[in-house]
Amino acid sequence: MKIYKYFFIIVAILFTNSTAFSLSLEQIADEYLEELWRFHPVGATDQGVHMYDTLLSDYSKNALKAVKKRLSELEQKLFAVDTTALSIDDIVDYYLVKASIVDELFSIEIIREYAKNPLIYSTECIYGVYTILLNPSRSSHDRIYAIWRRLEQVPDYLERAVKNLDHPSQFFCEVAIGQLRSGTDFIDDIYEIYVDSLPEHKKTEFKHITSKAIAAMKLFSLQLEMQADPKTPYVLGRDHYEYMLNNIHLLNIDADSLLKIGQNTLDSVSILIDSLQQRHDEPVGIKITLPENFSKSDVESYRSNEILTVREFVEQSDLVTVPDYIGDINIVETPEFIRGLIPGIAMQPPGPFDDFKTSYFYVPPVPNQFNIGQVEYYYNYVHNRHFRGGVVHEAYPGHHLQLSIANQHPSRIRKSSHDYIFIEGWALYCEELMARSMLYQDDTLGALINALQGVKFRAARVIVDVMLQTEQMSYEEAVSYMSNVLNRDRSYMAREVVRYITDPGQASSYLLGKVQLLALLDDFRKAQGTDFSLKEFHDELLSHGSIPVLLLRRIMFSEHEY
């Protein structure tokens, strides 16, 4: 009898300890998220956390010191967790919290972004307002109050920015100045949008606040011109770049190995494209009779219909499940203040903690009135369905579907995670998947060639990203390389390379993510044998959140050894 008594006591103790470890990790994750949202209130708004909607980030010395101290304390708490008592899902959350803390400390302590990169300040001022506008589910009163409060803080915020910046990179200063130039026009428009919803006695006050914010942004631009230092590097350098790959993105790879992936892929896919093009019968040139009164509205209708068409094909193709809760997509012209960083198309997904489920599909602006050349260009764009590949990447089964599913994950840290290597890797993977799945029935070979051209483009991006960040290539050399290898417009490539520099590693994420996913698919297919289902693979892949592929692999294979 005593033996059984002691047995149940031991089991109770083990169960209690295991639960305590699990709760400890959950508590650390929750504490970290709260700290992250307080430190990045605009980022919190973007994620659908609205308790900080009236604030901008505090980059004062005391605030930065307090944040570093708090992050270090959370890091120590995390190290104290007994990972042997955690489930596989908790293990994944553990490494997500760890990598995110490392990311924040990397920015604050190692590269000191707040002292070298003025883009963090210009972006905060503009996106602080823009993120409020993105969510129409909040009342007009709540939105205008949040915008009002954030605009009030802009002058003091930018005054602090000037004090913080220490020989900021001339490259980043020039990008920030361009962003501020279009951003002031955007802020000026805010007054026109909301002035009629204000009582008469508040209109003058709101106009005064917007005017002061605009004046502060213009002054900041002038100060950046004076502070800009051409000698300050605008790239990470090899050591920091590899630190980011290994410790933030959880990749067991160095810069040289990543460069080889890009170079080998570029060489092999170029040969494959040439071979396929020799077998591809180009359509016979036919003089197109342009329809009368073809206009911008025809282009907009085509884009909307293309999204519906591709979604319907994905639902019927049995390649991946499209859940009923997936929200709508609003197609909007890319705001001018971000066109310098997003020259093409992009997707703004709904915040993971928001009730609003609609994504915004950014597209380059279409002229309100067409001249003769533009009529021909845009009619060909519609007639030849040039938007379809973008829909695959950005909407179905790409980002909109993927991120909307990730937003439903029960883990808060998992919901907030956006590993762009998996995210962009999945979207690039989808381009070839859909080309091979008869989405383009009248020209499957041509669609496959286009998908491979996309791989070639991303391979060139890897080469440029690595060589830029490891100081083997200058900005001008990178623009020339991309233009020559891809035979693309130089001005477009110039804006692309700006984006690569301002977001290290992002340009490499597309190809690297696809390579990892294909390896995971191959291993999963072998493990499942005759039970393998591509749809089940895709559904499970998307069900675990937007996390590093290494962690996806651990879950899908239940690998408990790190």
pLDDT in tens, 435-458: 999 888 778 888 899 999 999 999
- How confident is residue 283, by pLDDT bands cut at 50, 70 and 90? low
Summarize pLDDT for 536-562 with one digit per residue, the tens: 999 999 999 999 999 999 999 985 343
CB 347 within 8 A of CB 358: no
Q: What is the pLDDT of residue 12?
A: 40
What is the residue-wise DSSP string for 132-186? HHT-TTS-HHHHHHHHHHHHHHHHHHHHHHHHH-SS-BHHHHHHHHHHHHHHHHH
For the ranges 92-101, 154-163, 203-212, the lowest mean pLDDT is seen at 203-212
For residue 169, list its beta bridge partners.
229
Q: Residue type at 5?
A: K
Q: Which helix (H) or strand (E) holds 97?
A: helix 88-105
**What are phi and psi for residue 363, nearest 5 degrees?**
-130, 150
β-strand pairing of 359-363 with 346-348: antiparallel
Residue 235 burial (CB < 10 Å; 0-12/13-18/19+)?
A: buried
Summarize pLDDT for 370-429 with one digit per residue, the tens: 998 899 999 999 988 899 999 999 999 999 999 999 999 999 999 999 999 999 999 999
- By percentage, how much of the chain surpasses pLDDT 70? 94
**What is the mean predicted confidence (pLDDT) over 16-40?**
79
Q: What is the pLDDT of residue 61?
A: 95
Q: Is the pLDDT of residue 185 over 60?
A: yes
Q: What is the pLDDT of residue 287?
A: 56
CB 451 within 8 A of CB 276: no
For the ranges 55-59, 183-187, 303-307, the lowest mean pLDDT is seen at 183-187
Q: Is the pLDDT of residue 148 over 90?
A: yes
Q: What is the pLDDT of residue 90?
A: 94
For residue 546, list its beta bridge partners.
418
Summarize pLDDT for 196-218 with one digit per residue, the tens: 888 888 888 999 999 999 999 99
What is the residue-wise DSSP string for 307-344? HHHHHHHHHHHTSS---TT---EEEEEPPHHHHTT-SS
Q: Is the pLDDT of residue 8 over 50?
A: no
The residue with greater pLDDT, 332 or 22, is: 332
Q: What is the pLDDT of residue 227?
A: 95
Summarize pLDDT for 472-527 with one digit per residue, the tens: 999 999 999 999 999 998 999 999 999 999 999 999 999 999 999 999 999 999 99
The residue with greater pLDDT, 340 or 11, is: 340
CA distance 82 to 84: 5
Q: What is the pLDDT of residue 103?
A: 97
Spatial CB neighbours of 75, under 8 Å, sequence gap ≥ 6: 98, 101, 105
Summarize pLDDT for 328-382 with one digit per residue, the tens: 999 999 988 888 778 789 999 999 999 889 999 999 999 999 998 899 999 999 9
Q: What is the pLDDT of residue 282?
A: 65
CA distance 136 to 358: 10
Q: Average pLDDT, whole number, for the chain? A: 91
Q: What is the pLDDT of residue 562?
A: 37
CB 491 within 8 A of CB 482: no
Q: Is the pLDDT of residue 3 over 60?
A: no
The pTM is what?
A: 0.92
Q: What is the pLDDT of residue 11?
A: 38
